[in-house]
Structure 1
């Protein structure tokens, strides 16, 4: 095991452990300390945390390396692993990581749709009730499965294997014959120095970009519209409690995705979590080869930063929502015999709940 491989293994192991802790903590807080007005939004938060846990588990199993030299290829080392004699199963597990990544993006966009409907107070939350809620939860896995199927069309082939052999050995000390991978080179150079594009690889990459674009558009669209509604809650006669709860939930949701000007305080580092740990590494790795950029360290960086995302993602909700933050900190206050903080809840019989 090379030095880079060893470092990557321990980073993935630590990330897996802490991802289980942070996401399980959030699930427990949602179940035991959710404000009464949250309604079905509790199910979505637990659902998202479970996807993050699954993503962390599969990411640990894969230990992905990203090759971004005229290509976008995800490589899984099989040597001395349980998958060494089962490359077909390893190929499917590798595909599951891409599916869970896309599913996570779709779940975030669904959360923004829910928050917008809740803020509208026009009865549209009925679309998130009963069987319809199950359909919303199933959709990310269906769409992620479609993305996985498309990506796996770029499976191993002899030409790609031979092009990878030297670099994988020199950079990561990996034997390409003992790996599984998905992806392909975008282009090759012929004997005359001309760039020959791999139409299949480029087309599939564009499809993946498009699939990511739809949920990102929904996040921006519903996020901006929700922010405008929240700014007018007090002027519309909403109580301070309702306004504060809606604002906390919205800030936590935005902090899980990306930074939007004036939505979250500028010194809130949590707004940078998905921007630097998820979107930028993947976009750079996918796009850099189109511009002739070779990023030798991309395989380590991109393979590591998204690994940390499931660990950090639950923290905005835990610390930005008063009920969860107080319950979390009170646990440690009890251990050290400190005074506990109690969340004050105002029941408003004339106000609609945000749940159906």
Structure 2
């Protein structure tokens, strides 16, 4: 496993932060006409508007951290399969560099939310009737982050919100980069695993690598299903004048379910994790066993 265990712990920590923020905020992800938004109800909250908005922006930032962390996991798996000494790029201080990439992406999301998607009176009035009808929310007691792309004045003239549009464009670019990385290295890893046996690898090595690959693929399908596609559609629909307001509740549900669903593939697909998990759920007294153990530093590649 080598430094892969550190990547998984890193990923797990941010998933827990994501879950905690989601529990505090209990967001409503809403699409309405020319806008999309992530809303927090402040009627029973002790938080000030500024702190509450920071929490909402941070929840969006956790999304950015998650997708970049998954992409880095795919890069690591591919380099591990190559067995050409390239895992040294994930060793020592270089591992810290990889850790900074998802965090930087998360800060970029928070930055865009803060400076391009901050609540404004026109946007709040535009949401007022819709959120009252759909969620029984009072627009005077909410905070949110989102974009109100085009605004029609009293003369029927459409005025584009350059600031909101640039913010949404930036978020889409930040989503596309890890998405392409996952597709490229996922395909390369799959082809490499298929050739393991022809390269003289043992059945055990192939089985372990396939378990890790299946877990990683599953942990990618889940955020794509629960995060990438719903949020991407929510971002894009207002630009094309598509009204998906009725589907907003499903996006909110998927976004909130993600932290609970995401760990399941690791438990189910990797034999050692699955056996340990079920042994905790169904403990049995086992006889003492003696076994020989060979210690291998998986951080070092074997030719």
For normalisation by structure 2, the TM-score amounts to 0.91
How many residues in Structure 1 have an aligned counterpart in Structure 2? Answer: 296
1:66 is paired with a residue whose SS is strand
Residue in 2 aligned with 1:246?
209
Residue in 2 aligned with 1:155?
118
Greater alpha carbon shift after TM alignment, 165-174 vs 42-51:
165-174
Distance in 2, matches of 1:309 and 1:222, equals 23
Residues 257-311 of structure 1: CA distance to partner in whole angstroms, max 9, x if unpaired?
02xxxxxxxxxxxxxx333222221112111112222222333222221111111
**Are 1:80 and 2:44 counterparts?**
yes
Shift in Å, 1:353: 5.1
Distance in 2, matches of 1:229 and 1:346, equals 28
Residue in 2 aligned with 1:60?
23
Contact (CA 8 Å) 1:257, 1:274: kept in 2 or not?
A: yes
For structure 2, list consecutive stretches of 5 or more residues without a partner in the other structure: none
Residue in 2 aligned with 1:257?
220
Distance in 2, matches of 1:317 and 1:192, equals 57
For structure 1, list consecutive stretches of 5 or more residues without a partner in the other structure: 1-37, 259-272
Residues 117-143 of structure 1: CA distance to partner in whole angstroms, max 9, x if unpaired?
101111111111122112211221122
Contact (CA 8 Å) 2:147, 2:168: kept in 1 or not?
A: no
The residue correspondences of 1:1-356 to structure 2 (distance < 5 A) are 38-69=1-32, 70-83=34-47, 86-153=48-115, 154-258=117-221, 273-334=222-283, 347=294, 354-356=298-300
Distance in 2, matches of 1:78 and 1:193, equals 33
Residues 97-151 of structure 1: CA distance to partner in whole angstroms, max 9, x if unpaired?
0111100000000000100110111111111112211221122112210121012
- Tell me: CA distance 1:75–1:253, structure 2 relative to 1, closer, same or farther (3 Å): same
Distance in 1, matches of 2:249 and 2:137, equals 13
Distance in 1, matches of 2:73 and 2:4, equals 8
Contact (CA 8 Å) 1:66, 1:298: kept in 2 or not?
A: no
Shift in Å, 1:76: 0.8
For normalisation by structure 1, the TM-score amounts to 0.78
1:81 is paired with a residue whose SS is coil
- Tell me: CA distance 1:66–1:332, structure 2 relative to 1, closer, same or farther (3 Å): closer
Contact (CA 8 Å) 1:150, 1:204: kept in 2 or not?
A: yes
Contact (CA 8 Å) 1:285, 1:298: kept in 2 or not?
A: no
Q: Root-mean-square deviation (CA), in Å?
A: 2.2
Contact (CA 8 Å) 1:52, 1:104: kept in 2 or not?
A: yes
Distance in 1, matches of 2:50 and 2:153, equals 32
2:220 is paired with a residue whose SS is coil
Shift in Å, 1:195: 3.5
- Tell me: CA distance 1:333–1:345, structure 2 relative to 1, closer, same or farther (3 Å): farther
